[in-house]
Amino acid sequence: MNEWIRVCRADEIEEEDLLRWDHGDHSYAIYNTKKGFYATDGYCTHEKQHLEEGLVIGMTVECPLHQGRFDIATGKALSPPVCENLKTYPIILKDGSVYIQLGN
Ligand code: FES
């Protein structure tokens, strides 16, 4: 089922910032960028480090542990030591809230 699940109010995530969102046994990172809202897996693909304390720089997020960078929109690994992409998830805004689709 590709249902939309409410994450939070849009104004709970400051611009150029991200929010950790845990759901079930999985953790996600929800971003508010100048180009809109995006979602990726919460943990870096290098080691088990959550991106919640990471730095959002334009459309990239920098991991706080070894400063590997990912493209927020595509999840693509952009700089060492990360080489495995992050999984991304569809996001929509509706009535001032952020919704994520976890299916597939
Ligand atoms: S844990 Fe993220 S770059 Fe190493």
Q: Which domains does the chain have, with CATH numbers?
A: 4-101 (2.102.10.10)
Q: What is the pLDDT of residues 50-61, one digit of tens each?
A: 999 999 999 999
Burial of 44: CB neighbours in 10 Å, binned 0-12, 13-18, 19+? buried
Ligand 1 proximity of 49 Cβ (cutoff 6 Å): yes
Q: How far apart are CA 60 and CA 77, in angstroms?
A: 10
Distances, alpha carbon 39 to alpha carbons 16, 19, 45, 57, in Å: 13, 9, 15, 15
Ligand 1 proximity of 64 Cβ (cutoff 6 Å): no
Instruction: Lay out the sheet containing 97-101: strands in order across.
Output: 4-9, 97-101, 91-94
Ligand 1 proximity of 84 Cβ (cutoff 6 Å): no
Give me the mean pLDDT over the 65-74 stretch: 98
Note every long-range contact of 25-28, with CB atoms under 8 Å and residues 24 or more positions apart, other chains counting: 26/102, 28/89, 28/100
Can you give the pLDDT at residue 84?
98
Percentage of the chain modeled with pLDDT above 90: 96
pLDDT mean across residues, the chain:
96
Q: What is the pLDDT of residues 2-54, one digit of tens each?
A: 899 999 999 999 999 999 999 999 999 999 999 999 999 999 999 999 999 99
Q: What atom in ligand 1 is closest to the CA of residue 68?
A: 3
Ligand 1 proximity of 65 Cβ (cutoff 6 Å): yes
Q: How far apart are CA 33 and CA 69, in angstroms?
A: 15
Can you give the pLDDT at residue 2?
80
Can you give the pLDDT at residue 48?
95
The answer, as to whether pTM is greater than 0.75, is yes
